[in-house]
Each structure stands twice: as C-alpha cells, then as structure tokens.
C-alpha cells in the first residue's frame, strides 16, 4: 500500500516555538526522511473560517505568515505539496456527502470540539460549520488517499471520526476511501509546550509565546522574564524543576552538544537539574543557557523568513502550484466517490 501523509494547520496566527517543537520539526523530519509516496501540508483556511466568519482578513493575512514560517523551518516545495484548503473545491463537495453519514449526536460527542465550543463560549450561537468541521477534516484526509496523519493528541478524536466516516462510506457505497491512521508525537515535552508565564499552553491571547519571527532581543527578553520557581529567591535556595518553565523548555530544546557549547561545567541536564534542586544555581544562569540554545535554533529560521518575506508573490506562487497539484488528486477521488454513489450521471449516460 502507498504511504500518503497529510497534515493541516489553521492559519489563525504566526507560529511559535510550541508549534515548532510540537509539530513543524517533525513535519520537516518526515519530509527529509523521504519515507512516503506523497507528503501534503495544508493551510486549513476554510476550517479557520468556521469560527472566524466575521474575520476573514485575519485568516487571509495568516496564510502568508504561516507559509513563511513553514518554509523558513525547512519545508521544501520540491518535496512537500504545500497548498491552501479553499483552493480545492472537491473538499467542500465531499464534505456535503459525508454529512449524510454522520449524526448530530455523534458530532456533539467529539471531545475536542466539545472543549473548543466551551472555550469559545458559543452556547446557542454555535455555527453549524464549526460543529461539522470534523466532517470537512475527513474530506481533507480522504481526498488524497491519506494513510498517515501526524497530529497532536488533541486531534485524535478527529481521526477517529474520520475513520468512522470511511468505514460507513465504504460499507454503504463500496470500498473507495482509504483508512487513515493518526501518528502522535512521542514525548510529552514535544506534545505540549507551556507558555513563558507557566500558566498553560502557549497562546496568542495570553501573550506568553515566543514566535519564530521574534528578533534576538525579543527572544532574550522573553526568556529572561520566564516563570521559574517563586520560592527560589536566593541563589543558595533549593529550587523546583517541575513546573519551572526554563526546565520545561530545556527538556524540549537541549541538544547533545548544548552543554559543551554554552555551559561546559555541566555534563548534561540531569546534572544541571540536581544542582538547581540542591541550591546554589541561580535563575539567570539557566535562563542565559536556554537563551543561547533558542537563539541557535531560531536565528537561521528568522534569517530565512526575512529573506522569503521580501518576495510574497513567490510564496503565493508556491501555494498556488501546490494547490494545482492537490486539485488533481482531490478531483480523482471526487470522481471515484460519485461513481461509487451512483451519481456520476455523465459517465452513466455517455456510455450508452
Ligand atoms: N484541525 C487541525 C488543527 O486544528 C487542522 C487540520 C485541518 C488538519 N485539516 C486537517 C490536521 C487534516 C490534519 C489533517 O490543528
């Protein structure tokens, strides 16, 4: 069986280091492994509109921002098909037929959607498009014969729902759709990075993010302002490592050669943590260490981003070429779906 990988990102804001470590880094690794028949990365603008109907400009502007982020992290349009969801009409068409295969009560049970509805305070004003976005996401996945969907833990229910729709479609109309599978990142640090304030996940509205596009001084300022251990007042005090944002980030970003390069008096993270817990290690020192590590990762990304940003037409051309390419596959699947359902009237009647 072919190995077809697809991932999607909602363009609602610039990407931050949480996206990088939780998703983008893996996508680039997959791309560079070359271990697939086809690799798609989709900018899910239509999905983003399901809770931004009155704010199209935000979504539109962020298509370019997120494309710049992805390309500067190493996504390569020669290896990856990078495209825009709304450029693929078949996705909307498929969604409409899949809607007949899902019940309202099933949609309401999706735990991620439930949580998102609560967070957004929709109550009685819940847009239908938002409730049904898992169906549209099933179209995204099945349109390309996707076998593997690399996603975060929160997206597992979407893949489960997609699998149910595939099963129902295939048993109702014949085996046309490919069964997808979710692949979730391995380590906890990668799955969920806390914000610089330690209060929860990084989020734009909380102002606790380090963006891929931040300049050197801004990154340093954010690192030096990170939440650590409020009881670690004097350098000599013993300090806590759990819930300490600096250590959470070190867990996620430290590389084998980081100590040798920036903090040679320690061999590894365990040694550094032990000293912090014992007392005698100050916050400034660990923050400067983290700053060095982050600057090393973000500098080349930022430089490439600045270069690409000079030529937005070129970036859009990449997205349009990717979309043309994606349309070919999606249209084929759409035809197969119509034939399986028996609504390919033009084929039926031209055969006579
Ligand atoms: N729902 C995903 C998110 O919020 C984005 C997405 C849209 C997606 N379509 C997809 C992810 C298809 C994987 C496959 O992150």
Q: How far apart are CA 137 and CA 329, in angstroms?
A: 16
Other CB atoms within 10 A of residue 314 CB? 10
Same domain, yes or no: 123 and 141: yes
Give how far Cα 307 sits from Cα of 19, 44, 224, 318, 321, Å.
21, 25, 28, 15, 20
Domain range for 241 = 214-306
Residue with the smallest CA separation from ligand 1 atom 11 is 8
What pLDDT score does 348 carry? Answer: 83
What pLDDT score does 69 carry? Answer: 98
75 domain residue, yes or no? yes
pLDDT digits (tens, 9 = 90+) for 98-155: 999 999 999 999 999 999 999 999 988 999 999 999 999 999 999 999 999 998 888 9
Same domain, yes or no: 278 and 343: no
Same domain, yes or no: 69 and 157: yes
Pairing of strands 148-150, 181-183: parallel
84 touches ligand 1 (CB under 6 Å): no
Pocket test for ligand 1, best of 4, 5, 6, 7 (most atoms within 8 A of CB): 7
Q: How far apart are CA 71 and CA 74, in angstroms?
A: 5
206 domain residue, yes or no? no
207 domain residue, yes or no? no
How many angstroms is it from 23 CA to the middle of ligand 1? 12
209 domain residue, yes or no? no
47 domain residue, yes or no? yes
91 CB burial (10 A radius; 0-12, 13-18, 19+): buried
Is the CB of residue 7 less than 8 Å from the CB of residue 150?
yes
Q: How far apart are CA 12 and CA 66, in angstroms?
A: 8
Which CATH number covers residue 229?
1.10.240.10
How many angstroms is it from 112 CA to the middle of ligand 1? 12
204 domain residue, yes or no? no
Same domain, yes or no: 97 and 160: yes
Pocket test for ligand 1, best of 9, 112, 120 (most atoms within 8 A of CB): 9
Same domain, yes or no: 32 and 93: yes
Same domain, yes or no: 149 and 38: yes
Q: What is the pTM of this model?
A: 0.95
Same domain, yes or no: 141 and 261: no
How many angstroms is it from 10 CA to the middle of ligand 1? 7
DSSP H helices, the chain, are 17-19, 25-33, 45-49, 56-72, 89-98, 104-109, 111-120, 128-131, 133-142, 156-173, 188-191, 216-224, 245-253, 258-262, 269-278, 283-309, 312-341, 345-350
Q: How far apart are CA 2 and CA 38, in angstroms?
A: 8
At 321 the three-state DSSP class reads helix
pLDDT digits (tens, 9 = 90+) for 23-47: 999 999 999 999 999 999 999 999 9
Q: What is the tally of structural domains in the chain?
A: 2
113 domain residue, yes or no? yes
């Amino acid at each position: 069986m072919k190995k077809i990988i697809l991932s999607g990102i909602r363009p609602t804001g610039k990407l931050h280091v949480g996206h990088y470590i939780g998703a983008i880094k893996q996508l680039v690794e997959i791309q560079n492994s070359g271990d697939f028949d086809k690799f798609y990365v989709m900018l899910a603008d239509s999905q983003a509109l399901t809770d931004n109907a009155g704010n199209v400009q935000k979504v539109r502007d962020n298509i370019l921002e997120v494309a710049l982020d992805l390309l500067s992290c190493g996504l390569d349009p020669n290896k990856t098909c990078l495209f825009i969801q709304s450029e693929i009409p078949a996705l909307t068409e498929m969604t409409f037929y899949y809607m007949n295969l899902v019940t309202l009560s099933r949609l309401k049970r999706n735990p991620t959607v439930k949580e998102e509805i609560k967070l957004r305070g929709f109550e009685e004003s819940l847009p239908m498009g938002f409730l049904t976005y898992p169906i549209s996401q099933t179209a995204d996945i099945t349109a390309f014969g996707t076998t593997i969907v690399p996603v975060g833990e929160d997206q597992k229910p979407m893949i489960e729902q997609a699998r149910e729709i595939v099963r129902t479609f295939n048993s109702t109309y014949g085996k046309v759709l490919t069964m997808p599978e979710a692949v979730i990142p391995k380590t906890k640090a990668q799955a969920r990075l806390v914000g610089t304030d330690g209060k929860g996940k990084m989020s734009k509205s909380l102002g606790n993010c380090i963006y891929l596009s931040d300049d050197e001084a801004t990154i340093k300022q954010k690192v030096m302002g990170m939440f650590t251990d409020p009881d670690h007042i004097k350098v000599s005090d013993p300090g806590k490592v759990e819930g300490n944002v600096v250590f959470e980030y070190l867990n996620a970003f430290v590389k084998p050669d980081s100590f040798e390069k920036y903090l040679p008096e320690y061999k590894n993270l365990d040694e550094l943590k032990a000293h912090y817990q014992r007392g005698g290690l100050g916050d400034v020192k660990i923050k400067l260490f983290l700053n060095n590590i982050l600057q090393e990762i973000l500098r080349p990304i930022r430089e490439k981003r600045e270069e690409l940003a000079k030529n937005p037409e070129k970036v859009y051309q990449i997205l349009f070429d990717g979309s043309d390419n994606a349309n070919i596959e999606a249209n084929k699947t759409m035809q197969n779906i119509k034939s399986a359902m028996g609504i390919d009237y033009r084929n039926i009647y031209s055969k006579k």
